[in-house]
Structure 1
């Protein structure tokens, strides 16, 4: 048998080398395919601020003193409105959100306006809520600006019933655009 392995032209050795290379390449390709499919399966449950990702959970105190936890809103469509009371575009967006909120087509819709300016007091937020006749949750959440990677206000996130980010917009979002996105969630 050793005669075959030690042939002068080395054809048998070359054949073993080729088979070995094919096996290694096959294992590498198989490993890559399995890794990719596993990442795709887990991507729906990943937490992040990109569309399709699970929205980062938080607990925030409303201006009334109640606590609301995002994870407890599963089964509801949630609009997160990141804003500040001194921001003129945020004030315009509040008017658009009022129009959306008054639309009776969305019974399981929850809007949470979150003031991310740490310098604003609960009294200022209460005055703002009364002045704009806001009927939804208003809360202070300066730390959420960083958690949700807010670079400019207003910024809204629309979350589907599973808590995944369906839509994100930086700048004023019209009521018609929000309503159109809400129709898309419902299919």
Structure 2
């Protein structure tokens, strides 16, 4: 099973790598058959994507024409990448009570590639990134008609991990205490992949 793991933060000094380290160790331990395709929205191949959306709305493309229907080569490559995934897992901070702009842009370039695909959400912030999580549920579940796991994981960070240069390493209790929730989230993604559900209306 191939899972796209999108990191919502592009800060050079981010807490995402620490959470990613713990997440990868859990996947290796509990689901060795899962291949994680980690996407950094600045440094992964064909990223960052352009901010300008193409003239033809993504939802107007017939899935049979993808990825060749897109004019921009970066968007074509992104489309081809997403279509290879069986599910998507997002690990993102909350920025100003919402979704980081570059993460939202990453979803907005495509449409048919996302429809029906299982998605799980892990957010972090001073209050666990709850506003980002709810916004992602709306965008992914209602806007892109993905099969979003109901129960997301929210990691509440002490202020020093946000307001100073201190960063998560992945072994802190504020991260590891969510082990059970993360495992349940991954298992639900596997279940939704094995038993596809109808895309939300």
TM (norm. structure 1) is: 0.32
Structure with a larger share of its residues in helix: 1
